[in-house]
Amino acid sequence: MVSTSAAPGRAQSSPSDANTVEEYDVVISGGGIVGCVLACQLALSEQSFIGRVAVVDQFKPQSLDDLRRRAETSGDGELPPDVRVYALSPASVQVLRDIGVWDDVLSIRPRVGRSVDMQVWDHASDSHVWFDSADVSGGGGGGGNSDEPPLNYVVEHNVLMAALNDRLAQLAQLSASGRTSATIDILSPASMARRGFRPPSGGGEGGGHGKASDSCHDDSNADSNNYSSGSNAAEWLHCVVDAESDANGDARQQQKQQIPIQCRLLVGADGANSQVRSLCGMGSWGWEYQHAAVVATVRVAPPSEAEAETEAEAEAETEAEAEAEGGRAQTRAASRAVLPGGG
């Protein structure tokens, strides 16, 4: 079995024989948020028919310890902000809690924000939509001190991914000792190869995948006899994973190794330019919005004592004006009530 990773805490085993076909129940192509969450859920599930799961990702994973070291070496002792962020609903946060990730996300403080309301408006009109956390049920606590359920939690991409990587590595180690229902193997950095990709040949018209199966079949650079085994080989999807073997951490000794794999289910969680979608001949369509955006991180200085006093005085004046206006409105109403005819 091959499990390659440069992240701390992830075991690296010896490469398997190139002629040995690794069999998996599920292969997840893509070790991003979706792929990692799914792998963790499968490892913790009680489904007996899921025995082996492989996660294939092209990048070396980053851990929470990596982020902490970056913070220690920065000039101000803080982790540089990541401009890529997510607004997670309370339901999504509950999923992260269920797989044991959310507490690790919160451990990198203060990198989690809470939103209790949000207004969206159109610059060309006065129309707007207002979202309030009072309309959200459940999911309170988490990223702040308030007990009010938030509208969402704002989390930086690198923090969320590092917490998921750590949890997936932990579950992979636990699965090696039989302490999880499914065995998790992590193949990274690695990628799905086009050569040798072959879908199941049985189970329906067109090889079980309809017309898409013709596009999936690519035997141009592979001997199909090398990637089939067992009496039910027709029911399996066959593919090859190109993995990097890093000998003793020396980048100069990195070598590509080809891992023939067959699986019952291949999950394409590899992003907008999905290799799995391409291999399976699945088309996609879209359009340009002709919009541009600026993403920035703003550091707000705490107000000085003078500014705080000025702000407090302004608030007091506003409240006094509101009370005075309320008194004048009551006086006008009383005056109208005593006019002849009740007018």
Averaged in consecutive runs of 10 residues, what is the pLDDT profile of the chain (343 residues)?
Answer: 37 49 94 96 87 93 92 81 91 95 89 88 86 68 56 93 96 90 91 86 42 42 41 71 65 69 94 90 87 83 76 75 66 55 48
Residues 6+ apart with CB under 8 A from 88: 96, 152, 153, 154, 155
Q: State the Cα–Cα distance between residues 8 and 10, nearest whole angstrom.
A: 6
Residues 6+ apart with CB under 8 A from 56: 27, 28, 29, 30, 31, 187, 188, 190, 191, 192, 241
Q: What is the pLDDT of residue 214?
A: 41
* Contact status, residue 256 vs residue 242, Cβ threshold 8 Å: yes
Identify the CA nearest to 52 among candidates 34, 27, 31.
Answer: 27
Q: What is the pLDDT of residue 157?
A: 95
Could you tell me where the DSSP H helices lie in 187-297? 212-216, 275-279
Q: Which residues of 120-158 are buried (b: 16+ CB within 10 A; e: fewer)?
A: eeeeeeeeeeeeebeebeebeebbbeeeebbbbbebbeb
Q: State the Cα–Cα distance between residues 3 and 15, nearest whole angstrom.
A: 8
Residue-wise DSSP of 30-97: --SHHHHHHHHHHHH---TT--EEEEE-SS----HHHHHHHHHHSTTSSPPPPS-EEEE-HHHHHHHH
* Amino acid at the residue 95: V
DSSP 198: B
Q: What's the whole-model pTM score?
A: 0.71
Q: Would you tell me how many other CB atoms lie within 10 Å of the CB of residue 183?
A: 21
Q: What is the pLDDT of residue 171?
A: 95
